[in-house]
């Protein structure tokens, strides 16, 4: 369900609470959708998850962050450019210019489709790198929790022993 801002409607009457009205509207919409059997939908946030940067003052996997930094820096570099090497056929009088033009147009056609494919791959790469960025943040959070739990276990064992 789309969340509407509470200040969508400005009401100057102190007897009326726009926040409460918006909440009622949201509940009624949700109830009606459930009655009609609409599937519950969630929409992703837009934009790529940014590179989180190396954690400061903590232990972290340097290799993982090196590769993650490189993936963030280069995930969108897939453009393909024409590379036409000289052809002996190009030196033929009259036909040489025609041959060069046919070769150039054939290369442009191939490049057109390759670049369309590359653009799709860039989109996939952006999603994969965003996922890796989020996972790196999650891994660091898990490391902090594990370290805190280990310290708590050590403290409890020290009190017990």
Residue 133 banded pLDDT, cuts 50, 70, 90:
very high
| Residue ranges covered by each domain of the chain | 1-43, 62-160
Summarised one tens digit per residue, pLDDT across range 27-43 is 898 888 888 888 776 66
Instruction: With a cut of 90, say whether residue 109 has pLDDT above it.
Output: yes
- Are 6 and 18 contacting, i.e. CB atoms less than 8 angstroms apart? yes
Q: How many CB atoms lie within 10 A of CB 89?
A: 13
- pLDDT tens, position by position, 58-88: 888 999 999 999 999 988 887 778 888 888 8
For the chain, give the mean pLDDT: 85
CA distance 147 to 142: 8
For 89, phi then psi, to 5°, come to: -70, -20
d(CA 90, CA 101): 10
Confidence grade of residue 110 (pLDDT, cut at 50, 70, 90): very high
The DSSP output letter for 111 is H
Would the pTM count as exceeding 0.75? no
Vertex 51, ends 47 and 79: CA angle to 5°?
A: 70
Work out the average pLDDT over 106-125. 91
110-138: buried (b, 16+ CB within 10 Å) or exposed (e) per residue?
Answer: ebeeeeeebeeeeeebbeebbebbeebee
């Amino acid at each position: 369900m789309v969340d509407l801002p509470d200040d969508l409607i400005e009401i100057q009457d102190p007897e009326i609470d726009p926040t409460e009205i918006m909440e009622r509207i949201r509940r009624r919409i949700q109830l009606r959708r459930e009655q009609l059997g609409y599937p519950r939908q969630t929409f992703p946030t837009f934009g790529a998850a940014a590179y989180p940067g190396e954690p400061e003052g903590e232990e972290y996997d340097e290799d993982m962050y090196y590769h993650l930094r490189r993936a963030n820096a280069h995930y969108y570099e897939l453009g393909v450019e024409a590379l036409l090497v000289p052809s002996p056929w190009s030196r033929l009088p009259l036909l040489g210019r025609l041959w060069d033009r046919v070769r150039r147009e054939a290369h442009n056609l191939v490049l057109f489709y390759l670049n369309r494919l590359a653009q799709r791959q860039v989109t996939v790469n952006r999603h994969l790198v965003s996922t890796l960025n989020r996972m790196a943040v999650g891994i660091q959070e898990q490391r902090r929790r594990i370290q805190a739990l280990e310290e708590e276990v050590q403290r409890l064992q020290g009190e017990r022993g």
